[in-house]
A and B are shown apart, each in its own frame.
Chain A
Amino acid sequence: MPELSYREAVRDALSRAMRDDEDVFIMGEDIAEMGGSMGVTQGLVDEFGPERVRNTPISEMALAGAAIGAAMQGMRPVAEIMYEDFLTLAAEQIVNQAAKHRYMSGGQVTVPVTFRTQGGAGWSPGAQHAQQLESWFVHIPGLKVVFPSTPTDARGLLWSSIYDDNPVVFFEHRTLYGIKEEVGDELEPIPLGQARTHRQGEDVTVIATGRLVHEALAAAKEAEEEGISVEVVDPRTLLPLDEDALISSVKKTNRCVVAHEAVVRGGFGAEVAAVVQYGAFDWLDAPIERVGAKFSPLPFAPVMEDFVVPHANDVLEAIHRTVSRT
């Protein structure tokens, strides 16, 4: 079985889709010769040429909108928005156009476009290159939102995103690009809207996304040594959300921690907490704990950045808080 990094897994899904299907092409800033600012699309221009691996000007509105227009004409474009922070520039096209064409037309058209983007702290880029904005898009009817945390998930979910007939915002985490795992020779598509249980447990469910899945797994290991059995569930697709999987896990463990890198207030964890409390209210033995960034923009100085964003110990502390409630 080949071993792929998260970065290579994303690239593998893109190149397989382009190899199989003339309708798929990718566009974005610096994605051709440079291979993208994160190196995800490295080498693709050599195989597929500049027409299908299309460098764009620094024009997020136009590149997002052009991808939408191509999708409405039957293509399956994948537009790379270099940093999540720049989704703010493309937001009009994603939110008002991509998400609504099908609806406003009364179902006459589909918009099978995928917006790939990445973000995440841990390397001191400061306030405008590492935000986690996934919750903004979860709020928009008509969009799907995906956030994989492993190479296997990234590959299988990106494939499904490309072949979904709806616009998908696909979030990658910068600090995960280097993680590796063995993946199958065959690409197995992972249906959108299916959570993954990374670890079974009895005492607490940690529902985590992105980098925090790995932090939660580290926390779970430490907790285990203390005699606390932790289940770790990654929704993987934030919209639509696999509510049943989350609720049934919490019904088993009776305690819940939600964890993501984005700021806690108004974060995706707030939605998860609402879903879980409503679906598993009678099973909960403690309030749902939320883990996320402190309420500030991302600072530059490493010591401050490290202080703001959550780590395994923050998840562990939340686990301690919830199990200490009687």
Chain B
Amino acid sequence: MAKVEQKGTLSKSDLREFFREMLLIRRFEEKVEERFRAGELPGFLHVAIGQEAVAVGVCRALVEGDIIASTHRAHGHTLAKGTTPNELMAELYGKLEGCSHGYGGSMHLYDIERGNIGANAVVGGGLPAIVGAALTFKLRCYPRVGVAFFGDGATNIGTFHEALNLAQLWQVPAVFVCENNHWAESTPSWQHMPIEDISQRAVAYGMKAVKVDGQDVEAVYKATRRALEHARGGKGPVFLAVNTYRLVGHYIGDPQVYRSKQELEETRATQDPIEHLRTKLELSGDEVEEIDREVQEIVDASVEFAKNGTDPKPEDALKNVYA
């Protein structure tokens, strides 16, 4: 995906491009869900339907050389960071053409060349590495920033606290993007956190913390740009407390017995970031349809690409264990 030019304000055409990308991620994930239910995709999968504005808003604000570490819910981040739908879909089908060459799968998406140092299936697992990467940028005087994505659930694990403490202590150029979707798998925030304002956790380490509306891609983009400027300028790391919503289950097939139908329907009706942006841009039905057709074609093509991909040989499993 092409990068929009770095600027503080966004034109209507920039936002239209954001819309296209968010819709592409949405359609991609819906297709993933469909192919998984059809029994074509191995393993298990987590989609981030409802959280597209965070992936696009953050990644569009990054510049060449910036890196991300992602989570088990990584398809959106990965696409937004520049991995092509073909490479991502091929990975989900376990093909050599996949972004992790069939070794990773949905929860371990890598694209080192494009600055994705890995989606992590251990909650909070990727945060310390972002601190170390950012330390390298600082020691080497590289104008680069490391960005860690994680959810509200991850703020309860030790790596989160140790990583934030170390990042602030060492003043490394890192941005911590907390995608607070209010659910740690099936456990609501009120059952896993004794505080309501998640940004207090960063404030406790003396870290600059900013609250962001995660359903507004423009707000996410602007907040990220400011955070990146702060970090890149040597002023230390920033914590973005991004309020967002997971409009689906924890994993594909999750019956969501823990969530009331009414809450889910209300959230879906009021918190869809793509719908928000469509309204803001005053896109007509025809315009949306045209963009939709275009992204659907890309998604369909990615499935074709993936299905025609190369299966690894079983014994390929023994490669890449050591450098």
Contacts and interface: CB of A to CB of B under 8 A. Distances in A.
A and B: interacting chains:
yes
Interface of A: 25, 51, 56-57, 59, 61-75, 77, 92-93, 96-97, 101-110, 112, 141-142, 144, 165-166
Contact of B128 (A69, A106, A141, A142): A69
B131 interface: yes
A106 B96 CA distance: 9
Interface of B: 98, 100-104, 108, 110-113, 117-118, 120, 122, 125-137, 139, 146, 158-159, 162-163, 165-166, 169, 319-323
Given A56-B166, A59-B165, A103-B321, A65 B112 contact: no
A97 B117 contact: no
A93 B136 contact: no
A169 to B, nearest CB: 14
A63 B159 CA distance: 10
Contact of B319 (A25, A67, A72, A107): A107
B166 A59 contact: yes
Contact of A62 (B113, B131, B321): B131
B100 A65 contact: no
A112 B323 CA distance: 9
Contact of A71 (B130, B132, B166, B319): B132
A60 to B, nearest CB: 8
12 contacts: A61-B128, A61-B163, A63-B128, A65-B125, A73-B133, A75-B139, A97-B120, A101-B118, A103-B320, A107-B101, A112-B323, A166-B322
B113 to A, nearest CB: 8
A62 B101 contact: no
Residue of B113, B118, B165 with highest tally of chain A CB at under 10 A: B118
A175 to B, nearest CB: 31
A66 B131 contact: yes
Contacts of A110: 323
A59 B169 CA distance: 12
A101 B130 CA distance: 14
Contacts of A59: 162, 165-166
Contact of B103 (A57, A66, A93, A106): A106
Given A92-B122, A106-B103, A97 B110 contact: no
B125 A104 contact: no
A94 to B, nearest CB: 11
Residue of B126, B132, B137, B139 with highest tally of chain A CB at under 10 A: B132
What are the nearest 3 A-B pairs in CB distance? A65-B128, A69-B132, A106-B101
Given A102-B320, A104-B110, A107-B101, A62 B136 contact: no
A146 B241 CA distance: 43
B166 A67 contact: no
Given A93-B159, A103-B320, A165-B323, 7 more contacts: A61-B158, A62-B131, A66-B129, A104-B103, A105-B100, A105-B101, A105-B320
B128 A73 contact: no
A30 to B, nearest CB: 15
A165 B320 CA distance: 12
Nearest to B172: A66
Contacts of A63: 128, 166
B323 A67 contact: no
A109 B111 CA distance: 10
B131 A65 contact: yes
A73 B136 contact: yes
A142 B122 CA distance: 18
Contact of A96 (B110, B125, B158): B125
A70 B103 contact: no
Contact of B133 (A69, A104, A106): A69
A74 B140 CA distance: 11
A217 B43 CA distance: 52
